[in-house]
Structure 1
Amino acid sequence: MNYFSSEFKLGILGGGQLGKMMLYETRKWDVWTKVLDASPEAPCKISCNQFVKGSLLDYDTVYEFGQGLDVLTIEIENVNLDALDQLEKDGLKVFPQPRALRIIQNKAKQKLFYVDHGIPTADFQRFAYLSEIEDSIQNGGLKFPFVWKAAQFGYDGQGVKVVRALSDLEGLPAGECIAETMIPFKNELAVIVARNDDGEIRTYPVVEMEFHPEANQVEYVICPARIDDKVASKARELALKVAQKIKLTGLLAVEMFQTEDDKILVNEVAPRPHNSGHYSIEASYTNQFEQHIRCILNLPLGATESKVAGIMVNLVGDEGHTGDVVYENINRILEMDGVTPHIYGKKQTRPFRKMGHVTIVDQNIDQARKTAQKVKETIKVISK
C-alpha cells in the first residue's frame, strides 16, 4: 500500500501531546490523518487533516470514527475496546490490537498477565472494592506500607498512592484496585520496545527516571541510564520478553524497578509512545513517534541507538497557578547550548499538569544532567 501523498487514511484516538508529536511525523511524510478527542482545544487539532470532537469511551462515537479509515491507532489507552473489537472484525487494522489493550488497560489484569507468563513483578493483591483493603488489613492479610493503584484510568501520577496508615485510604475511588508491595529500589528504569506487524522488533536504550516526590510524575528522563552494563542488558531482555508475550504492533514502554540487589522487576507498561521516550526526538537516530508510525504501517524499523546523551525535563504547571498559561524565562533556557523546548499547546495551566518538555543533548551525560537542573530551576509554568 502507498501511504505517502495518497488516499490512505490514518486515524488516531486521542488528541493530546503524544498525538501532536505523532503528527509531526505524519506531516513529514504527508500521511493523511484524522483525530478524535473530547476537547475542542486538543493539541492535535491544528495538525491533522480532520478533527472530530467526541468521547473516546463512547462505543458509537469510536465505531463511527473508524469508518473509512485504513489503519487506526491510539495515543492513550483509555478508549472503548468493544468498538475497537468490532472495527477489527469489520476488517480495519487496529494497532495496538484490542486484545493487547485489554491486558494493559486494567492494571489488575496486567499484573496477572505477568504472573501467568513468568515475568518478575512486585507482589500484589487484587480487590474488587476499596473497602476490601481495610478488611484485609484488619485480618492481617495486608500490611503497611503498600502502594494502592486504581485498576483503571490512572495516569500522570493519578490513581497511585503510597498507603502508610488507614487514613491514607480516605477519599480514594471505591472501585477495583490493587495493593502492591513497596519495593526498595535503586532506580526506576524504562525500555521502549518497537514491533511492526511482521514481527520485526527493536529496543531503545535503557533510560533512568527521576520522579517528583509529591506528584509521582517523572521530572527527568536520562538516556543512557547511569547503570552497569549487565543491569542494562537484563532490563532490555526483560522488556523484550514482555513485548514478545503481549505481541502488540506498535510501541510498548516497559517501566521497571532496579532493586537493591540488582534484580529487575516490571512495574507497568504503556502501549504507545511514552514520556520516557521524548528525549529521542533530539537524541536518537529514529525518534519514538516516527518509530510508532513505522510499526503500525508495517514499514522497516529505524535505528534505535542514540546520537548523543539526552535528558528530558517535564514542564508541568507550578503549584499555586491555575488559568491562562505563561512560560516564564523561556528565553533564558533558549540561550543554553543543546536545549530544545517543546510546548504542547494547552492554553490552561494547573498544578502539575503536563504542559511541555525540554530536551537537553550533550556528548557528556553528566554535563547534560547539570544543564537539565539549570533548565528546571529557570523556566516556570505559571498563570497570568
Structure 2
Amino acid sequence: MNYFSSDFKLGILGGGQLGKMLLYETRKFDIYTLVLDPSNEAPCKIACNEFFQGDLMDFDTVYQFGKKTDVLTIEIENVNIDALEQLEKEGKTVYPSAKTLKTIQNKAKQKLFYVDNNIPTADFTRFAYPDEMLTAIKNESLSFPFVWKSARFGYDGQGVKVIKTYSDLEGLPKAECIAEKMIPFKNELAVIVSRDPKGNVKTYPVVEMEFHPEANQVEYVICPARIDENVAKKAQLVALKVSQAYQHIGLLAVEMFQTQNDEILVNEVAPRPHNSGHYSIEASYTNQFEQHIRAILGLPLGATESKVAGIMVNLVGAEDYTGPVVYKNIEKIMDMEGVTPHIYGKRETRPFRKMGHVTIVNPNVNEARKTAELVKKSIKVIAEN
C-alpha cells in the first residue's frame, strides 16, 4: 500500500501531546491523518488533516470514527474496546489490537497476565473494592505499607497511592483495585520495544527514571541508564519477553524496578509512545514517534541507538498556579547548550498538569544531567497574574 501523498488514512484515538508528536512524523511523511478527542482544544487539532470531537469511551463514536480510517492506532489506552473489536471483525486494521488493549487497560488483568506468562513482577492482591482491603488488613493477609492502584483509568500519577496507615485508605474510589507489595528498589527503569506485524523487533536503550515524590510523575528520564551493563541486558531481555507475550504491534513501553539484588520486576506497560521515550526526539537515530508509525504500517524499523546521551525533563504546572499558562525563564534555558523545549499546546495550566518537556543532549550523560538540573531550577510553568 502507498502511505505517502496518497488517499491512505491513518486514524489516531486521542488528541493529546503524544498524538501531536506522532503528527510531526506523519506530516514529515505526508501521511493523511484523522484524530478523535473529547476536547475541542486538543493539542492535535492544529496538526491533523481532519479532527473529530467525541467521547473515546463511547461505542458509536469510536466505531464510526474507525470506519473512516485504513489503519487505527492510539495515543491513550482508555478507549472503547468493544468498538475496536467490532472494527477488527469487519476487517479494519487496529494496532495495538483490541485484545492487547483489553489486558493492559485493567491493571489487575495486566498483573495476572504477568503471572500467567512467568514474567517477574511485584506480589499483589486483587480487590473488588477498597473496603475489602480493610478486611484483609484485619485478617493479617495484607500489611502496611503497600501500593494501592486503581484497576482502571489511572494516568499520569493518578490512581496510585502509597498506603502507610488506615487514614490513607480514606477517600479511595470504590472500584476494583490492587494492593501491591512495596519494592525497595535501586532504580526505576524502562525499555521501549518496537514490533511490526511480521514480528520484527527492536529495543531502545534502557532508561532510568527519577520521579517527583508527591505527584508520582516522572521528573527526569536519563538515557543511557547509569546502571551495570549486565543489569541493562537483563532489563532488555525482560522487556522482550513481555513484548513476545503480548504480541503487540507498534511500541510497548515496559516500566520496571531494579531491586536491591539487581533483579528486574515489571511494573506496568503502555502500548504506545511514552514519556520515557521523549529523549529520543533529539538523541536517537529514529525517535519513538517515527518508530511507532513505521511499526504499525509495516515499514522497515529504524535504528534505535542513541547519537548522544539524552535527558528529558517534564514541564508540569507549578503547584500554586491555575489559569492561562506562562513559561517563565524559557529564554534562559534556550540559551543553554543542547537544550530543546517542547511545548504541548495546552493554554491552561494547573498543578502538576503535563504542559511540555525539555530535552538535553550531551556526549556525556553526567554533564547532561547537570544541565537538566539547571533547566529544572530555571523554568517555571505558572499562570498569568
TM-score between the two structures when normalised by the length of structure 2: 0.99
Q: Deviations over 1:207-259 (max 9, x none)?
A: 00000000000000000000000000000000000000100100000000000
Q: Distance in 1 between matches of 2:223 and 2:250?
A: 21
Partner of 2:127: 127
Q: Aligned partner of 2:286: which letter?
A: T
2:5 aligned counterpart, secondary structure: coil
Give 1:254's aligned residue: 254
Q: Determine whether 1:57 maps to 2:53.
A: no
Is 2:306 aligned against 1:302? no
Partner of 1:57: helix, strand, or coil? coil
d(CA) in 1 for partners of 2:96, 2:4: 21
Letter in 1 for 2:115: V
RMSD (Å) for aligned C-alpha atoms: 0.4
1:192 to 2:192 alignment? yes
| 1:330 match | 330
Q: Kindly report which structure 2 residues correspond to 1:306-325, keeping only aligned pairs within 5 A, or say none.
A: 306-325=306-325
Counterparts of 2:116 and 2:338, CA distance in 1: 45
Q: Which runs of 4+ in 1 moved over 4 A?
A: none
- The corresponding residue for 1:6 is 6
Cα displacement (A) at 1:69:
1.0
Alignment match, 1:97: 97
Q: Which residue of the partner structure matches residue 213 of structure 2?
A: 213
- CA drift of 1:62 comes to 0.2
- After TM superposition, list the pairs within 5 Å mapping 1:142-221 onto structure 2: 142-221=142-221
State the alpha-carbon separation in 1 of the partners of residues 248 and 158 from structure 2: 25
Structure 2 counterparts to residues 261-272 of structure 1, below 5 A: 261-272=261-272
> 3-state DSSP class of the match of 2:305?
coil
Quote the residue 2:235 is aligned against: 235
Shift of 1:67: 1.3
- Aligned AA for 1:52? F
Cα distance in structure 1, aligned partners of 2:59 and 2:241: 33
The amino acid of 1:240's aligned partner reads: L
Cα offset, 1:139, TM superposition: 1.0
Q: Counterpart amino acid of 2:180?
A: E
Gaps of 5+ in 2: none
- 1:280 matched to 2:280: yes
- d(CA) in 2 for partners of 1:134, 1:17: 39
Report the equivalent of 2:47: 47
What whole-Å deviation, never above 9, does each CA across 1:325-354 have from its counterpart, x for those lacking one?
000000000100000000000000000000
> What SS class does the counterpart of residue 180 from structure 1 fall into?
strand
1:354 alignment counterpart:
354
Q: In the alignment, residue 255 of structure 2 is paired with which amino acid?
A: E
CA distance, structure 2, for counterparts of residue 196 and residue 92 of structure 1: 17
1:244 counterpart residue number: 244
Which residue in 2 is equivalent to 1:28?
Answer: 28
Residues 37-94 of structure 1 show CA distances to partners (whole Å, capped at 9, x for unaligned) of: 0000000000000000000000000001011311000000000000000001111000
In the TM superposition, what whole-angstrom CA distance separates every residue of 1:151-179 from its partner, at most 9, and x where no partner exists? 01001100000000111011110100000
Deviates more, 1:220-229 or 1:133-142: 133-142
**Secondary structure of the structure 2 residue equivalent to 1:360:** strand
TM-score, reference length from structure 1: 1.00
CA apart distance, 1:4: 0.1
Counterpart Cα distance in 2 of 1:172 and 1:295: 39
- The range that moved more, 38-47 or 130-139, is 130-139
Matched residues in 1 for 2:58 and 2:347: separation? 26
1:105 offset after TM fit, Å? Answer: 0.5
How far apart are the structure 2 equivalents of 1:369 and 1:119?
32
Name 2:111's counterpart in structure 1: 111
How much identity, in percent, do the aligned residues show? 74
Counterpart of 1:69 in structure 2 is: 69
Matches of 1:11 and 1:298, distance apart in 2: 16
Residue 345 (1) aligns with residue 345 (2): yes
Distance 2:49 2:24 in 1: 12
